[in-house]
Structure 1
């Protein structure tokens, strides 16, 4: 009996079929997420939800044979972002992704940002890109569609469409990413939402048990969508206690499971499907910092008339970085907050320690990787000592980790833990397939 995991990422969409009993991958189909839309402002990050839905449907049609044998499906998705739907369940807005910067815009009084104002009302720090920060900006600026009846994540939207519902439902793992969510009650803080001048009736229905929300027209159980961070943990980590997940994709995270609702300054506490929580440290940089350096090298080649199109830039960058580290020279001190940080959106990147010996492409590549590792290690040090002492190993996940042995080497040294790569490559999709099996009652929760 097969289950299906659908992972909707910022840059790709993956559909994975797994054998629920054996826990093995049967087929994987991945496509670029080409749904990006141009916004009216440079700080907007928008995608077309209908295009994303069509990509998913195309992939399922391609896997029609496996789909016939499937019993249940679950979607994991890029967290925090929202889109609006009407009373029929039709999308009436673009998807405002987790990278959208409207929450960092200053309010009309010019004193604080929208994220800061909402955070002051809620009594906690909130970040741009969080669903309710985005909605707060839209509500204050007349951007909420007049026919909007609710809003949800892109995963909730696809799950709703798969089973023909007209109202979205949301798992706590996704709902917490909106902000203004009670981790203890596993529900939105509706009084805080209303205090901020927002209509709480637009909040999606929270499904606390993480079970089925409906069935597809051909009878397959559709389980409530979950956040991609939690899905990656489910897919990559076989033993939650004692394991640290280090995920590097477009962004990056460290994640540790705890059975208690612990709140630690500088870390996020996220509900975990099936019970418990993840403590998460999430820099904004991740793999896109290394991609920024790649772009710099490509533009340099073009500027000097060299063909830069089909070269394996990442492979060569990794090779040069490894060579630079073997020289025994301390890596350049790169601050990789090129896109700001959750604590300080206005932060900028930088570099120190330049010398004639280190002013080379290889030392720049090694320095950026060291900066990425340093950001993750800083979050690791914030974990409570009793929890950190129980960690026996680190699991590496995400393409930015899997394809970069130099980054793996740095993290092994700096975390002081043995690090191995996850057994499956599409961790979030595999985790969603596991969640489908549990949510549909095919396996123990």
Structure 2
């Protein structure tokens, strides 16, 4: 009889559920739904919150759409989700299981997401220096907790995926892996411990810090039947969506994964003996994220990826409307790609950093080397795609990959999947061979982690 792992990813805009067959290591069923959970808060500048009830309702609907006869044979559940953010709830009353075999959120705050911008530079500069190689930014859990109005009488805090694990297992506390803890700040990934003394000295409410457990380990067992999944089913401690997405498509230690979707990331696994620097490297374009088995990922995470191309299309669409010549975004996108395919190279240079970068937020976009002969849509689109690759390889140079022993580039992401010009520029940018996999998938990745480790 076949058995399955249920992999769940609670993303910023959607929830995805997959059933992963343990013997064949194949996805046999999948479903994804948008959460539509963003809360518009005009009274608080730069607030980015989401409705917890809607997220959990979407999760229940998503799992409920999977085949119930297969759900009855799920032998473990894994969760990943959006990192950095924080949710508060009350121990023992954080959800309601009375509605048949699924729970609803109760006695929780809204989710304050990684996009929240309320922690000003003044507040951040007033915080103590963390004992960590990772810096603290607005939207990070520990920075958000320093805002007293969020606390009220809540007793537990975690990411949204940590909350779901706690509710599935009936835990009175939050358990958190180093992957999510590192994304909160004030966490030392070498010792796998919170900066207790530093936070205590700053008046931080230490009782809200989750208990740390290993990445890839179990958090507990389901306390109730859930959509046909029997009570007592093992549940993995929640993981980071980025790490799980990499796990889903990195098949060898000598692979580097290039993902270009809304944003862009280039990453590879560091050697087993690598130790991160002792303090944040604020101007470095490369960060080191905790992975599995005490390994780290070297990550160049660009804010500028497919969103740059989408902005270009939106700009042209707006211009056309002003000229009373409307064309849908999808049709325009296809025509631009066709023009660029007919233009094999361009001497036009586009630096597409319209959103800046975390390590250099004030470096915005530029267009240079403009001439009368390179202003066609083919030239501009080709140069824009080339610029996206130039930017990510400036953050993590090809020589750096070669020195690290990277022998292959694994390309994934929605922007790469739909844009042949972008794929051509990827193959020009790297001397290593490039292979394309299905899109990096955190829900699949977390199921693979449990399949390999339990």
Question: TM range, normalised to the smaller chain?
Answer: 0.7 to 0.9
2:415 aligned residue: 400
Indicate yes or no: 2:342 matched with 1:333: no
Equivalent of 1:22, from 18, 21, 24?
24
> Mean Cα displacement is larger for which, 405-414 or 118-127?
118-127
Corresponding residue number in structure 1 for 2:367 = 351
Pair 1:342 & 2:358 matched: yes
Cα deviations by residue, 1:372-414 (Å, 9 ceiling, x for unpaired): 21221123229857x7341110111221222222222212222
Structure 1 residues 69, 388: CA separation in 2 closer, same or farther (over 3 Å shift)? farther
Shift of residue 310, structure 1, vs aligned partner: 6.7
* Match in the other structure for 1:127: 137
Deviations, residues 316-371 of structure 1 (Å, cap 9, x unaligned): 333333333x1x322422232x2232123344333223333333433333333223
* CA distance in 2: counterparts of 1:203 and 1:383, whole angstroms: 40
Match of 2:179 in 1: 173
Residues 142-181 of structure 1: pairs in structure 2 closer than 5 A: 142-181=148-187
- Indicate the residue corresponding to 2:269 in structure 1: 257
- Which of residues 298, 301, 308 is equivalent to 1:282? 301
In structure 1, what is the Cα distance between the partners aligned to 2:275 and 2:58? 38
TM-fit CA distance, 1:119? 6.5
* Residues 401 and 152 of structure 1, relative CA distance in 2, 3 Å threshold: farther
> Within 1, Cα distance between the matches of 2:145 and 2:274?
27
Is the CA contact (8 Å cut-off) linking 1:119 and 1:126 kept in structure 2?
Answer: no
State the distance in 2 between where 1:161 and 1:315 align. 45
Per the alignment, do residues 349 and 161 of structure 1 end up closer, same or farther by CA in structure 2, a change over 3 Å counting? farther
Note the C-alpha offset of 1:184. 0.8
Q: Secondary structure at the match of 2:347?
A: coil
Q: For the Cα contact (< 8 Å) 1:15–1:30, is it kept in 2? A: yes
Using a 3 Å threshold, how does the CA distance of structure 1 residues 329 and 198 change in structure 2: closer, same or farther?
Answer: same
Q: Does 1:268 align with 2:287?
A: yes
CA 1:209–1:417: 2 relative to 1, 3 Å: closer
CA shift at 1:417, angstroms?
1.7
Check whether the contact 1:320–1:362 (CA below 8 A) recurs between aligned residues.
yes
1:306 and 2:325 are equivalent in the alignment? yes
| RMSD of aligned Cα (Å) | 2.5
Q: Is 1:185–2:191 an aligned residue pair?
A: yes
Matching of residue 76 in structure 1 with residue 77 in structure 2: no
Distance 1:82 1:370, change over 3 A: farther
What TM-score do you get using the length of structure 1 for normalisation? 0.87
Aligned residues: 423
Q: Distance in 2 between matches of 1:318 and 1:429?
A: 30
> Is 2:131–2:188's contact at 8 Å kept on the other side of the alignment?
no
Aligned to 2:434: 419
Q: Which moved more, 1:363-372 or 1:241-250?
A: 363-372
- The answer on 1:49 being equivalent to 2:52 is yes
Matched, 1:34 2:40: no
Distance change in 2, residues 1:215/1:36 (3 Å)? same
Q: CA-to-partner distance for each residue in 1:224-283, whole Å, 9 max, x for gaps?
A: 1111111011111111x1010111222221111122343365222111134412111111
After alignment, is 151-160 or 175-184 more displaced? 151-160
Relative to structure 1, the CA distance from residue 251 to residue 152 in structure 2 (aligned partners, 3 Å threshold; closer, same or farther) is: farther
**Cα displacement (A) at 1:284:** 1.6
Match of 1:58 in 2: 61
Identify if the C-alpha distance between structure 1 residues 242 and 426 changes in structure 2 by more than 3 Å, giving closer, same or farther: closer
CA positional deviation for 1:426: 5.2
- Aligned with residue 9 of structure 2, among 7, 11, 29: 7
Residue 309 of structure 1: CA displacement?
A: 4.3
Alignment of 1:356-375 (within 5 A): 356-375=372-391
CA distance in 2 between partners of 1:164 and 1:298 (Å): 51
Residues 250, 288 of structure 1: 8 Å contact kept: yes
The answer for unaligned runs of 5 or more in structure 1 is: 108-113
Distance 1:313 1:268 in 2: 36
Partner of 1:110: none
Match status 1:235 vs 2:248: yes
CA distance change for structure 1 residues 392 and 346 in 2, over 3 Å: closer, same or farther?
same
Maintained 8 Å contact 1:97/1:129 = yes
Contact 1:4/1:436, CA 8 A, preserved across alignment: no
DSSP-derived class of the 1:16 partner = strand
C-alpha separation between the residues in 2 aligned to 1:360 and 1:33? 40
Q: Is the 8 A contact 1:247 1:396 kept in 2?
A: yes
> How big is the shift at 1:12?
2.7
Unaligned 5+ runs, structure 2: 95-105, 225-229
